[in-house]
Amino acid sequence: MVATDERARDRRLALVVVALGATYGYDGAVMAGAQLFVTDRLGLSTTEQGTLHASTIVGLILGTLVAARLADAYGRRRTLVAAAAGFTLVATLSPVVAHLVWLDSTRLLLGVGMGVILVVTPIFIAESASAAARGRIGVLYQVATVAGVVSAFLVAYGLAESRNWRLMLWGSAVLAAVVVAVLASVPETPRWRPAGATRRAPAPAPVGAGAPIDAGAPVGAGAPIDAGAPVGVLRELFGARYRSVTLFVVALGFFAQITGVSAVGSFSPRIVQRMGYEGYFAILVVPALIQVAGLLAALASSFTVDRLGRRATLLVGTGIMAVGHALLVVTFAAGGTPVVGLVGLLCFSVGFNSGFGALIWVYAAEGYDDRLRTAGTTMMLLPNLLANFLLAQFFLTVLTALGGTATFTLLAGVTVLAWIFVLRSAPETRGRSLDAIHAYWQGGRRWPEQAGEPQPGRAGEPQPEPVVLAQPSGPPGP
């Protein structure tokens, strides 16, 4: 009977997770298609087109900063319901007024809601799902997110002839309303307790979409940042003990995004147009198919990473990204070879999803102990979102001013720098216990056996390693 109840609870949770992932993915990608028609309707400049995406990223940053406190104070389920309900209202009103300031303002508010969902959903999964289903449900969230991204492009394609950008944007409101409805079928997580009450276990780290959730460990892989002492936490993160790993994950998070992933996702229709393609199928459906290829690459990476190792997988993925940028440079420099450009976009998506998208969260989760895991992953997420904002706001302007050859040469150079950074700085943590990894970062980047000490964790029971959940390369962010 207990097993039957557990399976029923997991099925209800899976439905909630599918709705949350689809909403996050759809809204993150819908502006990529709608922007084509909003631009014509409002006569937007390239800078103004950038604000349609950048305003959402600003909201995401704000949402991620407050989400953990809200989830701790009011509960995970209640926070998700409030975020989804507010999102539904704003998404309904957003397309009503055809004015840039109105659209930017409402997109910012939608970003706040998405930021909250981004942080709280992995907590909700980790605390609600059974141990046997936790990893599968986490992967289901990623699949649903990519399905939402693909659906956004297909809806844009279906409405392209009518140029009805309002209906495209209203799709987000419909999905968010479904989230509110399905959340009614699930209870609050058993791990949450109101402020001041005794908790059975600390909450897991708010690690966002694509983040690892330890499916084998007890729920509570990391405690949220103490709302009353953020300065003390930052001082500890950059203190002598944790400075090395903190600087590493900050740089890793920034490099993962500044290589161009959000630009390729958010502006792929514009990029395809500049290659020479004109039909709506090419500029809206082909990017959707590329997203599917990226998801398949991420799933493949999850099966091979423990065989090849984290560092090798990351180096191969980043190398494939650089090849993708190089093919785009060739396309824009030579002209008349748009198919090569599509192959370049495909390579970039596959490389990102099999490398950075799958592994940056693992490095952050492994590098900190339970007490600071939330703070550490947040330190990686913030520079990642900052780079996301810079690309969203300025990529199209740079592409217009410098042209495709110079723009993608610049991104290729940044990607090569990212590859060099990984080569020189990323340790291979495959097969290492969490204690050994912590000792590596805190002991001058030397493994315990290199320092002539016994390796922590090897003598006792092996510690479970985080399950890699893939991060799609589309507009939804990190």
Residue 476 placed within a domain: no
Instruction: Write phi, then psi, for 208 (nearest 5 degrees).
Output: 75, 175
Q: Whole-angstrom Cα distance, residue 440 to residue 314?
A: 19
Q: Residue 192 is part of a domain; what is its CATH number? A: 1.20.1250.20
Pick from 162, 159, 169, 183: which is nearest to 85 by CA?
Answer: 183
In a domain, 67, yes or no: yes
Q: Is 477 within the bounds of a domain?
A: no
Residue 2: which pLDDT band, with cuts at 50, 70 and 90? low
In a domain, 462, yes or no: no
- Per-residue pLDDT of 421-452, as tens digits, reads 999 999 998 888 888 988 999 888 888 876 55
In this structure, is residue 451 part of a structural domain? no
* Gap between the Cα atoms of 328 and 415, Å rounded: 13
Helices (H), 193-285: 230-237, 243-258, 261-266, 268-275, 280
In a domain, 87, yes or no: yes
pLDDT, position 135: 65
In a domain, residue 466? The reply is no
For residue 457, name the pLDDT band (cuts at 50, 70, 90): very low
Name residue 213's beta-bridge partners. 467
The partner residues of 222 in beta bridges, in order of sequence, read none
Please report whether residue 123 resides in a domain.
yes
User: Of 82-96, 169-183, 309-323, 441-455, which gets the smallest average pLDDT?
Assistant: 441-455
Range of the domain at 322: 2-442
- The per-residue pLDDT for range 218-243, each reduced to its tens digit, is 223 333 444 444 667 888 888 888 99
> Token pair of 413, please?
């150079």
Q: Which residues touch 31 (CB under 8 Å, ≥6 apart)? A: 38, 52, 53, 56, 107, 169, 266, 475
pLDDT in tens, 21-44: 899 989 989 999 999 999 999 999
The per-residue pLDDT for range 48-59, each reduced to its tens digit, is 999 999 999 999
Euclidean distance between the first and final Cα of the chain, in Å? 40
Total domains, the chain: 1
The residue with greater pLDDT, 272 or 136, is 272
**208's torsion region: left (phi>0), alpha (psi -120 to 50) or beta?**
left
Q: What pLDDT does 433 receive?
A: 85
Per-residue DSSP letter, 284: I
**What is the pLDDT, as a whole number, of residue 187?**
87
Furthest CA-CA distance within the chain: 70
